[in-house]
Structure 1
Amino acid sequence: MDRRNVHFALVLAYHGPGFRGWQFQEGQPTVEGSLRKAAAPLFQGPFRCRAAGRTDAGVHARDQRVLLAGPCEHSADTLAKALNARLCEGIAVLQCREVGPDWDPKSGSFAKSYRYQVWRGPYLPPVLHDRVWWIQGRGALSQTAIEAAAAHLRGEQDYDSFRSAHCQARHARRCIWQLDFRPEETAAILAHPDERCALASFTVTGNAFCQHQVRIMVGTLVEVGLGKREAASIPGILEAKDRQAAGRTAPAQGLTLQRVYFPGEEALSGVPSDARWPGCPWD
């Protein structure tokens, strides 16, 4: 094929614990670094690599969106096959298509959805290793208390108390329209039923997230589910605008970037028709 300046849109999935996050770091195993290394021989010159967003060390992704753009003689299908043959274990290109020069996975997307899994029990099934937050103990978290607390965390508001002290975002104003807690079946994990054990997941969808925001919200809600914090305390935490007011940061390995949404996928994302935020694409 002729050498062309081509823009490729990738759907990337990865298992987080083997990497120090998405962003390239010299001398460290990162997802971006691994992708750049695999892609370099497939481009005939400098190329761009840009993701829909960064993920922290240990966080998984099943729908990271990535732009690779530069001089390339390969078709999208050939590039995907070549990348998968060269990528290290724990990363896979699920889809690859050619896009126009204006496509951008970060500025072009309007929302992301994350899933966080929690295992409660006296032991951790090996199949869940590096996939959940293991909270030692017996019995399920209180769904009623968590749902009452989560209701205060939905909407467009300031999440200063729920972001890392090292977060560099200019502000913490975000719009979150989904924050659900759901018990899950354990039959596919345990050969024998065990009432001491419980698996559950949080699903969080919003226009954007501050550093560690989802993990801090989950850590706080788990404290509520364990009876260590009252659901009614959440409004006060939000008003404090102080990281110390919220709960612990949940471990990274329980978190997965589930989906990135682009214009035309509003119904799929569940965004309310009246939702608005700074930079909202339909504002």
Structure 2
Amino acid sequence: MRYAARVGYMGTAYSGWQRQAMGTGVQEKIEESLAALEGKPVTVTAAGRTDAGVHACGQVISFELEKEWRPDKLVLAVNFRLPPDIAVLEAARVLPGFDARRHALWREYRFFIWHGNALPPFLHGRVWWNRFRWDFEEVRRACALFEGDHDFRAFCKTAECPERTVRTIHTASVTRKGRLAVFTVRGNAFLTNMVRIMAGNLNAVGRGKKSVEWLKGLLGGQARENSAMTAPAEGLYLWKVSYGEGTPFGPYRVE
């Protein structure tokens, strides 16, 4: 039986989504829980591979089980064996061959950024605490440049940069309410560290260290060293993945 599930997690204690030779990935914990139900190893495929420390409330996984489960019972059974910072939020039977990564139409990330001299303790690890003031008009101008097809080589971790670095960004925006700013970006696929480097470059523009024209130049395939800092992982969330129609599993959902 083919299943899909929407997963949420706090990434603080993990070395990223993937299984790791050193450290623990979120994938490992979920596969261990599923293996306990199935009585043998189970491999899951994820829509996105989040970095160490990055969170998710809309990660989607697909996997195969020999046993047939009612989706609500499967959620309960998997969560029983998961640590409190990882949870399966919903599950469903899906059509044979459904692949959470290959069938995704777009992925949306949201970066929560707190500006100010003090951070409320309950937000620690959940937002990027940025102590510098931003010029939000300039940040919004810069953010709009991300939309469309661009060569994001300057926005990729050098050691993990593929040969082809052109990506399509459907929407990119920055909103603000009080001290909290939210950078939202939706695209077909993302390079390693891409959203964090995008946020780091917006920070450089917002602080007046770099210009909007400088950022525009980066989108022509410049080298990573010409770009700004990689923003910290805390505050970044894999927010949503679309498979069409109502989502999260779209037309692939069986029940």
TM-score by length of 1: 0.83
SS in 1 for 2:27: helix
Paired position in structure 2 for 1:179: 172
1:149 to 127, 130, 142: 142
Maintained 8 Å contact 1:42/1:79: no
Instruction: Provide, for residues 157-213 of structure 1, a one-character-per-residue CA deviation record: whole Å limited to 9, x for no partner.
Output: 11111111022433111111211011124xxxxxxxxxxxx2111000011111111
Which 4+ runs in 1 deviate beyond 6 A?
none
Paired position in structure 2 for 1:248: 229
Amino acid at match of 1:101: P
1:259 to 236, 240, 245: 240
Q: Give 5+ residue unaligned stretches, structure 1.
A: 1-5, 186-197, 267-283
Per-residue deviation, 1:134: 1.1
Per-residue deviation, 1:27: 5.3
2:121, 2:63 → 1: CA distance? 36
1:250, 1:136 → 2: CA distance? 13
Paired position in structure 2 for 1:96: 91
Paired position in structure 2 for 1:238: 219
SS in 1 for 2:159: coil
SS in 2 for 1:224: helix
Paired position in structure 2 for 1:61: 56
1:62, 1:238 → 2: CA distance? 29
1:265, 1:74 → 2: CA distance? 23
Stretch deviating more after TM superposition (218-227 or 236-245)? 236-245
1:184, 1:131 → 2: CA distance? 16
2:120, 2:185 → 1: CA distance? 25
Stretch deviating more after TM superposition (244-253 or 230-239)? 230-239
1:159, 1:116 → 2: CA distance? 18
Aligned CA distance change for structure 1 residues 27 and 210 (closer, same or farther; 3 Å): closer
Per-residue deviation, 1:132: 1.3
Aligned CA distance change for structure 1 residues 46 and 133 (closer, same or farther; 3 Å): closer
Paired position in structure 2 for 1:214: 195
Maintained 8 Å contact 1:45/1:71: no
The structure with the larger Rg is 1
Amino acid at match of 1:208: A
Quote the sequence identity (%): 35
Paired position in structure 1 for 2:250: none
When the two structures are aligned, how many residues end up with a matched partner?
247
Per-residue deviation, 1:240: 5.2
TM-score by length of 2: 0.92
Per-residue deviation, 1:54: 0.6
Instruction: Provide, for residues 205-226 of structure 1, a one-character-per-residue CA deviation record: whole Å limited to 9, x for no partner.
Output: 0111111111101100111111
2:131, 2:161 → 1: CA distance? 33
Are 2:109 and 1:114 aligned?
Answer: yes
2:29 to 31, 34, 37: 34
Alignment of 1:190-201 (within 5 A): 198-201=179-182
Q: Give 5+ residue unaligned stretches, structure 2.
A: 248-255
Paired position in structure 1 for 2:2: 7
